[in-house]
């Protein structure tokens, strides 16, 4: 297959832990050809089709200079998206206006015959914090609001809470407020911007000490191992970007129940890959933009998540 990866700049990849790199490596091992671009490289003009300035690359196996760019003429550099066998959308959050616009360009490319994974409309329809609202049976006490009084009431009821912005990533902007309510008013003002911005508030789950588990779902099926991201030091956040320690472990019965219940629903909507975050027995987020942890799970368990992903990708392209 001729694959196009839409991602962050290749020079920014930390290949020892990057899941997109793991996908590329497995795809090339199977003989598929690789190209890459950034969202800014995609455009459309009336009378034409959605196209991208795509770099044809091959992986070298070297840890420093990990790819080489294949020679291309100016005409070859510009490719219509429909001419790729599959497009893998792997741009990292935040899901800002530019990301939103990119999904519309990709949806137009789909109308022209392109096959995009994850589907652009599904990316828009599943904001990573709010997607959990559809599955209340799996989540803990949660409030989504702009109203400061409602947040204070939620704190009064649950006594120990987590507050976070809806557009954060990697643990950014997350606050814990305990029984004393210290700084709750100031935190609310910071996050809701005097009522202009919506905030998610959740009951604090003490099971976080055992880790914030990333349960990967590929083609509707949970991967047998998850990565528990365990907070370190005085941190309440388990996110690897916030210094959490990643420990791979087999899925618990509850993890599997969650993955088997939610996974097929997401897959039917065009989400080939999703990452369900679970603390204790409760789902806290559903990540669909660029779920990670492939390499950490493989390094610690031997479970080849990238191979599972490319298996599902090949099947999805054949079925499309």
Out of 128, 255, 285, 296, pick the active-site residue.
285
**Count of beta carbons in the 10 Å neighbourhood of residue 11:** 7
Out of 56, 91, 287, 296, pick the active-site residue.
287
Kindly state the tokens that stand for 56.
Answer: 């044809």
Q: What CA–CA distance (Å, rounded) separates 281 from 205?
A: 9
Is the distance from CB of 112 to CB of 84 less than 8 angstroms?
A: no
Out of 115, 214, 239, 296, pick the active-site residue.
214
Out of 119, 164, 203, 213, pick the active-site residue.
164
Site of tokens 């510009």: 78
Q: H or E segment at 78? A: strand 78-80
Contacts of 46 (CB under 8 A, 6+ apart): none
* Sheet architecture: strand order including 51-53: 42-43, 51-53, 78-80
Active site residue 134: no
Active site residue 285: yes
The CA dihedral of 307, 67, 293, 131, to the nearest 10 degrees, is: -90
Out of 18, 110, 277, 296, pick the active-site residue.
277
**Nearest residue to 213 via CA among 231, 232, 230, 227:** 227
**Nearest residue to 192 via CA among 163, 161, 154, 172:** 163
Is the distance from CB of 247 to CB of 293 less than 8 angstroms?
A: no
Active site residue 125: no
Active site residue 63: no
Out of 119, 203, 213, 237, pick the active-site residue.
237
Active site residue 55: no
Out of 55, 129, 203, 213, pick the active-site residue.
129
Kindly state the tokens that stand for 86.
Answer: 């599959």
Active site residue 245: no
- β-partners of residue 144 are 200
Is the distance from CB of 96 to CB of 126 less than 8 angstroms?
A: no
Active site residue 277: yes
Active site residue 129: yes
Out of 25, 55, 115, 229, pick the active-site residue.
229
Which residues belong to the active site? 129, 164, 214, 229, 237, 277, 285, 287
């Amino acid at each position: 297959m001729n694959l196009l990866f839409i991602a962050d700049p290749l020079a920014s990849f930390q290949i020892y832990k990057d899941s997109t790199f793991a996908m590329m490596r497995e795809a090339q091992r199977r003989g598929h050809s690789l190209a890459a671009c950034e969202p800014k490289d995609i455009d459309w003009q009336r009378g034409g089709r959605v196209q991208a300035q795509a770099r044809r690359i091959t992986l070298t196996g070297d840890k420093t200079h990990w790819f080489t760019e294949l020679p291309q003429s100016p005409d070859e550099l510009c490719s219509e998206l429909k001419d790729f066998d599959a497009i893998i959308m792997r741009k990292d959050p935040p899901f800002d206006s530019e990301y939103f616009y990119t999904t519309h360009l990709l949806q137009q490319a789909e109308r022209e015959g392109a096959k995009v994974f994850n589907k652009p409309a599904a990316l828009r329809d599943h904001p990573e914090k709010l997607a959990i609202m559809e599955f209340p049976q799996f989540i803990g006490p949660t409030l989504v609001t702009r109203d400061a009084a409602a947040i204070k009431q939620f704190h009064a009821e649950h006594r120990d809470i987590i507050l976070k912005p809806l557009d954060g990533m990697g643990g950014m902007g997350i606050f814990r407020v305990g029984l004393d309510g210290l700084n709750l008013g100031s935190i609310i003002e910071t996050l809701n911007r005097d009522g202009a911005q919506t905030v998610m508030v959740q009951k604090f789950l003490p099971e976080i000490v055992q880790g914030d588990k990333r349960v990967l779902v590929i083609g509707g099926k949970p991967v047998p191992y998850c990565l528990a991201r365990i907070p370190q030091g005085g941190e309440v956040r388990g996110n690897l970007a916030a210094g959490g320690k990643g420990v791979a472990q087999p899925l618990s019965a509850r993890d599997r129940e969650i993955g088997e219940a939610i996974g097929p629903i997401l897959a039917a909507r065009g989400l080939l890959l999703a990452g369900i975050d679970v603390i204790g027995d409760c789902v806290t987020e559903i990540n669909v933009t660029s779920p990670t942890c492939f390499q950490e799970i493989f390094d610690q368990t031997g479970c080849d998540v990238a191979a599972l992903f490319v298996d599902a990708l090949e099947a999805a392209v054949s079925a499309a």
